[in-house]
Amino acid sequence: MSDTFVTASPHWTWFIIPYFFVGGIAGGAYFLAAVLEWFGRPEDRPVIRTGYSLAFWGAVLSGLLLTLDLGRSLRFLNMLFQSDNFPHLMFKSFSPISFGAWALLLFGACAFVSWYAETGGTPAKLIAAVGGLLGFFVAGYTGVLLSVTNRPIWADSPWLGALFLASGASTGAAAIALFAPGRGATERSLRWVTTFDARALIVELLLLIVFLVSLGTVAKAWLSVWGLLLIVGVVGAGILWPLRLHLKPAGAGALRNPAVMVLLGGFLLRCVVLLASNSIEYHRVASVVAR
């Protein structure tokens, strides 16, 4: 039995699940917009604008969800400043939560400037470079954070950060594909986004398999309703079905829209990873060992 089973679950509320999802979309969308800011063309501007918009509002929503989860919202300041030593900064290099708090703040600042400024140019490119890297950090650090908890499943594999990052990229691309047409995106711009989305999904699927294999005997912890949802919802409906739809479009309707299905799968991925581990109570494990 992995020692991770002998730990207590964190006192998180449900706000954390949508945060992991929204943070991933915001980070992934900004990264794609940044790539086009540097290497795209004028015709890609509507896609870039959509990416920045998703990133900014996603960062705002992420901050709201995180501060609400604290219970005492103003306490978020303690993540940024030393309370007894104001205005000295609170930063612990060994803590993904500390890193993440600063990354989200700086990412939000970049997303705001990019979203607010209407046009491109060198300053926009420089901000996009910094924000794009921060975006990928915001999308991936949540998985790293889970791996650094000593909790079952999360701390039994080093692949969760990579998996969340790939999911952030695929859901970010899907969100752009969903909203950019209404902002006047051209067919060619959109095709690049959807092609990237399909490839990100393949990377995500491979990482999910590696993640499950790397769990070893702990993988048995997935023998629950969350494991079923992982196979049916995340892999089936959220990865394989949209991949098939990319190859062979199946017409109108939300269930036939690959972008909608990718977003659903990304949300379910955060749900099952969080809840599969959180549903493991030590009392039950202890009684099994004692027998």
Partner 1 sequence: MPEAMGFFTDTTICIGCKACEVACKNWNQLPATNGGVSELSGDSYDNTRKLDGTHWRHVKFIEQFEGPYNGRWLMMSDVIDMNPAAGTAQKCTLCYDRMQVGLEPACAKACPTDSIQFGPIAELRTRAQKRVDQLKAQGEKRARLYGDDPNGPLGGLNSFYLLVDEPEVYGLPRDPKLPSRNLKSSGVLSAATGAVLGLVALVGLRKRRMDEIGGGGERGSEN
Q: Please state the closest distance from residue 139 (CB atom) to partner 1, in A.
A: 8
Binder of partner 1 out of 72, 122, 182, 251 (CB under 8 A) = 72
Structure tokens at 88: 């000295």
> What is the DSSP code string of 116-150?
H--S-SHHHHHHHHHHHHHHHHHHHHHHHHHHTS-
DSSP state of 237: I
Question: Of 16-24, 120-128, 137-145, 256-264, which segment contacts partner 1 by CB under 8 A?
Answer: 137-145
Q: How far apart (Å, rounded) are the C-alpha atoms in residues 276 and 221?
A: 7
Q: Please state the closest distance from residue 182 (CB atom) to partner 1, in A.
A: 22
Binder of partner 1 out of 68, 82, 86, 117 (CB under 8 A) = 82
Q: How far apart (Å, rounded) are the C-alpha atoms in residues 48 and 29?
A: 9
Q: Spell out a b/e string for 149-161, using b for 16 or more CB atoms within 10 Å of the CB, else e.
A: bebbbbbbbebbb
Binder of partner 1 out of 213, 225, 255, 286 (CB under 8 A) = 286
* CA distances to 164, 204, 211 from 37, in Å: 24, 25, 33
Beta carbon nearer to partner 1, 232 or 287 = 287
Around Cβ 121, how many Cβ atoms within 10 Å? 9
- Build a one-symbol-per-residue string for 216-255: x at contacts with partner 1 by CB under 8 A, - elsewhere: ----------------------------------------
Q: Find the angle CA(93)-CA(98)-CA(103) to the nearest 5 degrees.
A: 95
Beta carbon nearer to partner 1, 229 or 266 = 266
Binder of partner 1 out of 65, 153, 162, 237 (CB under 8 A) = 162
* Sign of torsion over alpha carbons 133, 137, 140, 144: positive
Residues 6+ positions from 286 with CB-CB distance below 8 Å: none
Residues 6+ positions from 197 with CB-CB distance below 8 Å: 170, 173, 174, 177, 242, 246, 258, 259, 262
Residue 282 in the binding site for partner 1 (CB under 8 A)? yes
Binder of partner 1 out of 24, 40, 51, 265 (CB under 8 A) = 40
Q: Please state the closest distance from residue 158 (CB atom) to partner 1, in A.
A: 4
Binder of partner 1 out of 183, 192, 222, 246 (CB under 8 A) = 192
Q: How far apart (Å, rounded) are the C-alpha atoms in residues 138 and 35?
A: 17
- Build a one-symbol-per-residue string for 90-119: x at contacts with partner 1 by CB under 8 A, - elsewhere: x-x-x-x-----------------------
Q: Please state the closest distance from residue 237 (CB atom) to partner 1, in A.
A: 22
Strands (E), the chain: none
Residue 200 in the binding site for partner 1 (CB under 8 A)? yes
Residue 42 in the binding site for partner 1 (CB under 8 A)? no
Q: Which residues bind partner 1 (CB under 8 A)?
A: 1, 3, 5-8, 11, 31-32, 35-36, 39-40, 71-72, 75, 82, 85, 90, 92, 94, 96, 136, 140-141, 143-144, 147-151, 155, 158-162, 164-166, 169, 188, 191-192, 195-196, 199-200, 203, 207, 282-283, 285-286, 289-290
